[in-house]
């Protein structure tokens, strides 16, 4: 499947889930679902499975859609006044600006919980479904994304160590990017050694994704970003650019992507060509 086909399939699954019963809540949820997301995480899931030459079924895509629900939830909640207080996301008004804070909170809550209902409908072996649910919950909650959000909020206006910065982003951003690699290993029933390699590969790509995000926050315009540029600097957020400077951050980005490429070539019985375009897309033209 090409990226546009994956995106269209994920969109269809998400909208069919929420448009069954029209309400203000479903309108609020669908507003954020249709706000121009690239479906990066579901695409990773599909491309890893294609690397193992597995057929991409509707059930596989449902796993990707469940992941995208949680990612969308995090965006809605991140934008709230009590969090990052953003007015725009992907060039559109943020959910709370469009529907009010209460409705935005509830939309985010639903998107954080509904993925497990969706996962319960996939036609996989029960053991695989349980492993997927466990991995997704870990990536999303206290040990993952939500835990990272807490570190992020409580690190504002503070000088933090490199170790804490890595922990912050490994949880807040990285965990949800590592999950597609873990999930693909579960679905493909890969050996333990391969599962470990996949997880490490996801960690490199997740860290690269965050470093790149920190870089473009200070180098790109509102038109490119779709949100307020240099917001992290204005709020004294803990970022790689703030800790190391722009040029060093570019070097770190390059190092992570290079390590990902090396690891990619070491995975047995895997077609690395499925993921190389994604790694290349994360590169910045003038990176060191």
What is 2-66 written as a DSSP string? -HHHHHHHHHHHHHHHHSSS--HHHHHHHHHHTS----HHHHHHHHHHHHTT----HHHHHHHHH
**pLDDT at residue number 287:** 46
| Mean pLDDT for the chain overall | 92
Residue 288 has pLDDT above 70, yes or no: no
- Write down all domains in the chain, each with its CATH number in brackets: 3-281 (1.10.600.10)
Confidence of residue 206 (pLDDT cuts 50, 70, 90): very high
**pLDDT at residue number 224:** 63
Instruction: Say how many CA atoms lie within 13 Å of 73 toward its Cβ.
Output: 24
Contact indicator for 202, 178 with CB cutoff of 8 Å: yes
Burial of 283 from C-beta contacts in 10 A (0-12 / 13-18 / 19+): middle
Residue 100 Ramachandran class (φ > 0 left, ψ -120 to 50 alpha, else beta): left
Give the C-alpha separation, 68 to 119, whole Å.
Answer: 12
Residues 6+ apart with CB under 8 A from 220: 229
Residues 6+ apart with CB under 8 A from 82: none
Give the C-alpha separation, 151 to 178, whole Å.
Answer: 19
Bridge pairing between strands 92-93 and 88-89: antiparallel
What is the residue whose two structure tokens read 């996949």?
198
**pLDDT at residue number 159:** 79
Considering only CA atoms, which of 103, 104, 136, 102 is closest in space to residue 117? 136
Rounded (10°) angle between helices 175-188 and 126-140:
170
Confidence of residue 226 (pLDDT cuts 50, 70, 90): low
pLDDT digits (tens, 9 = 90+) for 116-127: 999 999 999 999
Residue 231 has pLDDT above 80, yes or no: no
> What value, to the nearest 5°, has the Cα angle with vertex 139 and ends 165 and 5?
110
* Pair of tokens at residue 78: 């991140």
- As a whole number, mean pLDDT of residues 74-84 equals 93
Task: Return the DSSP state at 186.
Answer: H
**pLDDT at residue number 222:** 64
């Amino acid at each position: 499947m090409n990226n546009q086909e994956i995106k269209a399939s994920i969109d269809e699954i998400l909208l069919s889930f929420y448009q069954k019963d029209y309400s203000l809540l479903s309108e609020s949820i669908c507003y954020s679902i249709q706000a121009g997301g690239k479906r990066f995480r579901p695409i990773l899931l599909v491309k890893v499975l294609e690397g193992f030459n597995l057929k991409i079924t509707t059930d596989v895509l449902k796993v990707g859609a469940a992941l995208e629900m949680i990612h969308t939830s995090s965006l809605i909640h991140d934008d709230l006044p009590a969090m990052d207080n953003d007015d725009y996301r992907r060039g559109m008004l943020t959910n709370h600006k469009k529907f009010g804070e209460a409705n935005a909170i509830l939309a985010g809550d639903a998107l954080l919980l509904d993925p497990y209902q969706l996962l319960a409908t996939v036609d996989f072996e029960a053991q695989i479904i349980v492993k997927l649910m466990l991995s997704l919950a870990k990536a999303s909650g206290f040990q993952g994304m939500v835990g990272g959000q807490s570190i992020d909020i409580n690190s504002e206006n503070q000088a933090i160590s490199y170790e804490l910065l890595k922990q912050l982003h490994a949880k807040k951003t990285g965990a949800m990017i590592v999950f597609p690699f873990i999930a693909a290993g579960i679905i493909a029933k890969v050996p333990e050694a391969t599962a470990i390699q996949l997880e490490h590969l996801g960690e490199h790509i997740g860290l690269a994704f965050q470093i790149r995000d920190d870089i473009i926050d200070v180098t790109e315009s509102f038109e490119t970003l779709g949100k307020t540029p240099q917001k992290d600097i204005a709020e004294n957020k803990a970022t790689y650019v703030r800790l190391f400077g722009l040029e060093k951050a570019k070097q770190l980005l390059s190092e992570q992507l290079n390590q990902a490429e090396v690891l990619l070539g070491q995975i047995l019985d895997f077609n690395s060509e499925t993921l190389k375009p994604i790694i290349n897309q994360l590169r910045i033209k003038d990176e060191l």
